[in-house]
Structure 1
Amino acid sequence: MKEFWGRLGYYPVGIVDAVGHKGGIWFLSANLKFSCKILWAMNQCVTLEIDGGGRRWICSAVYGSPQATTRVELWSHLLDIGLCIQDPWVVVGDFNDILSVHEVKGGNYYSTRSSVFASTLDSCGLFDLTTSGRRFTWFQAFVEVLSRSHSDHCPLLIRCQEVPIKKENRPFRFQAAWATHPDYKAIVQKSWNSTDFGIHRKLLGVQEASLEFNSTVFGNIFIKKRELEAYLNCIQQKMEADDDPILKHKEEELRAEYNLVLAQE
């Protein structure tokens, strides 16, 4: 697994291995400029101190046990952490519990468990970012629930203080995804054979033809990916309120198309 994540540009900074098919937490980072230090780890939670960008903060990754009696250990662990730290603290993951009846569909709601969960968060000084983002005093943040593709869990993206990206001229980069299109080989051959003015001119011709192909035929796979994610997310939101088989079929089609774009990416 470390080799797999490494190929995607991530490196592990905190791991709690799964026991059989149960549990397991991987805390990964893609920013080598940030210092990550494990402070505490247990089978339902890994907590790191993250230092970078002129800011130090604490992040706890949670995977709560599906057994309510075992989750008590998690609540106690979070309460202990809350007593030990002074830095800003974000806790993210799957708690396997809910705060209100509005957060569950097709399952049971237990008010006693909800009260214990809410009391734990309150005692830790934690609050729900989805509803209290503007009360976040150290920097603005909110949680975005992304569309799911290969898991029954939706990814959660915590967005913190937007930083504008400076656009600069970028050098030409060959995209291996172009080779997945059946027409690309012929375009390269045609461009390569269209001039007799040496290797350099031939390469420039292939570059120009490739960029034109990307713009008019292949399209930007990253834009396609975002559009499919948005469409997939919209369909899945509708499915939460309506079990229409047409929506289910459309979701399957979108997932297949999304998988193709991921392969190209």
Structure 2
Amino acid sequence: MEALLDITILSWNIRGAQNNNARRNLKELMSKHNPTFIAIYETHVPYHRLSTFWANIDYTPIHIIEANGHSGGIWLLKHSATNILTTITNSNPHYISFTINRGHASSFCTCIYASPNPTQRPILWNHLINLSHSIDAPWMIIGDFNETLLPSDQRGGVFHHSRAASFSNFMNSCNLLDLTTTGGKFTWHRNSNGIRILSKKLDRGLANVNWRLNFPEAFVEVLCRLHSDHNPLLLRFGGLPLSRGERPFRFEAAWIDHGEYESLVKNSWQPRTHNIISALNNVKENSVNFNHEIFGNIFQRKKHIENRLKGIQNYLERVDSIRHSHLEKELQKEYNHILFQEEMLWYQKSREKWVKFGDKNTTFFHTQTIVRRKRNRVHRLQLPCGTWSFDSDTLQQEAQNYFKLFFTASQDNRDRTFTEGTHLSITEEGRNSLTTPITKNEVYVALNSMKPYKAPGPDGFHCIFFKQY
């Protein structure tokens, strides 16, 4: 899907497209973000009144659903210079579905404007559920859903549990995930006399698992609200370019399953029995070499075994060979072993607690890993001068500067001595308990109480390593 990574979609309920403020803001958004596609809703006017405006800023219509007075209306346009092929597959007054293609890469997209009437929205959800049954491809939806999913999606007003449940059922039925969002928590605001009395997250991006796995860096940015009571959304298929440094060491639980790794740990540990840090560093260095020279890349090994199996099976279609039949069984056994190691890899990275390892949930673990990474990623920071930055190098430098300043700041000169009688005192028994040497059994109990696949320590080793060896 690399051919589609540069695609961006700007989605905005504009609440009237003809007035001067709307056009100024549209022109500014196009100039600043240069989106590949733009979908705007509640247009209030026929498209032909702004056809010259769109031509002047180099955007051409893909599909137009005209508004009924001040109700509805969806305009879908794309940048004139783009070489992406688009095909409209479905449309009605509340959504436009289309495919985008460049070379062999393709994606199914839907731009949606759900009815403000809550009694009409379940009809749209059911319609989209039926549509999902015919989609066997990466699929994303973006737009104004006119519905909240969680109580935290709004501030003020009454949260409607039954309507949220209907929306949630629609997402589950279509296997849709809520895309990572940055830039703001809410996308719609209602003011009264200049005072904000109600805020909700009505606009969002959703995607099925297939789309999320093909575009793991994608995220939705909530842009600044300057004209409508809705914030514009900008979906970036490929995310932002990242400046990657040297990857830190991370222990891979799948190494445990290899017959030679236990002896590697023992041989690395023996010369340094009296220095744990030195022993761990030795294990770390030898593990890196072991991974490169012996264990190898799981995905490349899986592909290699698949190709060998295919070749042997093609040969056995022409020639009877006991030797090749035995080899086929050995390769199938090795392939299943690699699948087990792959499942262990994604289980470790997903850090899921409730699902049981061994249930062949590799795709689920992979998806959870992608979602967790996106949730934990910092997409922007406010600089000391007050401006916001998205640049990867700047984000890394600012984070480093912040913690350097935080941990090296000089201490104040306040008197930190306690006045006798103003604080609780510890008992003699408590003092003895704190100063008693730690026993081997205490360490053993503490270690066994830890989750084996949770986040590693600063040395890169997960708890499973210490439990195993």
- Alignment TM-score, normalising by the size of structure 1: 0.59
Question: Partner amino acid for 1:109?
Answer: F
Alignment of 1:4 onto 2:4: no
Map 1:34-183 onto structure 2 (within 5 A): 34-52=84-102, 54-130=104-180, 136-140=212-216, 141-162=218-239
Consecutive unaligned residues of structure 1, counting only runs of 5 or more, are 165-226, 232-265
Structure 2 counterpart SS, 1:137: helix
The answer on whether the counterparts of 2:219 and 2:239 sit within 8 Å (CA) in structure 1 is no
1:16-46 residue CA offsets vs partner (Å, 9 max, x unmatched) = 1111101111111115311111100011111
Structure 2 counterpart SS, 1:28: strand
1:100–1:163 Cα change, 3 Å: closer
The answer on whether the counterparts of 1:145 and 1:156 sit within 8 Å (CA) in structure 2 is yes
Question: Partner amino acid for 1:122?
Answer: N
C-alpha distance in 2 between matches for 1:5 and 1:53: 27
C-alpha distance in 1 between matches for 2:106 and 2:129: 20
1:229 Cα deviation after fit: 8.8
The answer on whether the counterparts of 1:147 and 1:230 sit within 8 Å (CA) in structure 2 is no
C-alpha distance in 1 between matches for 2:213 and 2:165: 26
C-alpha distance in 1 between matches for 2:115 and 2:138: 25
1:163–1:54 Cα change, 3 Å: farther
1:237-265 residue CA offsets vs partner (Å, 9 max, x unmatched) = xxxxxxxxxxxxxxxxxxxxxxxxxxxxx
Percent of residue pairs identical: 37
The answer on whether the counterparts of 1:147 and 1:155 sit within 8 Å (CA) in structure 2 is yes
Question: Partner amino acid for 1:154?
Answer: N
User: Following superposition, which runs of at least 4 residues in structure 1 exceed 6 angstroms of deviation?
Assistant: none
1:148 Cα deviation after fit: 1.3
The answer on whether the counterparts of 1:57 and 1:89 sit within 8 Å (CA) in structure 2 is yes
1:23-79 residue CA offsets vs partner (Å, 9 max, x unmatched) = 111111115311111100011111011112642111100111110111122112211
C-alpha distance in 2 between matches for 1:95 and 1:230: 28
Map 1:185-196 onto structure 2 (within 5 A): none
The match for 2:71 is 22
User: Would you say how many aligned residue pairs link Structure 1 and Structure 2?
Assistant: 169
1:127 Cα deviation after fit: 0.9
The answer on whether the counterparts of 2:65 and 2:73 sit within 8 Å (CA) in structure 1 is yes
Consecutive unaligned residues of structure 2, counting only runs of 5 or more, are 1-49, 182-205, 242-384, 390-469
1:151 Cα deviation after fit: 1.3
C-alpha distance in 2 between matches for 1:125 and 1:4: 39
C-alpha distance in 1 between matches for 2:103 and 2:160: 42
1:119 Cα deviation after fit: 0.6
1:160 Cα deviation after fit: 1.8
1:162 Cα deviation after fit: 4.5
1:74-101 residue CA offsets vs partner (Å, 9 max, x unmatched) = 1122111100111111100000001001
1:2 Cα deviation after fit: 2.2
Question: Partner amino acid for 2:215?
Answer: F
C-alpha distance in 2 between matches for 1:128 and 1:109: 19
1:163–1:61 Cα change, 3 Å: same
1:106 Cα deviation after fit: 2.4
Question: Partner amino acid for 1:19?
Answer: N
C-alpha distance in 1 between matches for 2:157 and 2:387: 27
1:107 Cα deviation after fit: 2.5
The match for 1:209 is none
Task: Choose which of 62, 75, 87 in structure 2 pairs with 1:13.
Answer: 62
Structure 2 counterpart SS, 1:102: helix
1:228 Cα deviation after fit: 10
RCO (CA 8 Å, sep 6+): is it higher in 1 or 2? 2
Question: Partner amino acid for 1:32?
Answer: T
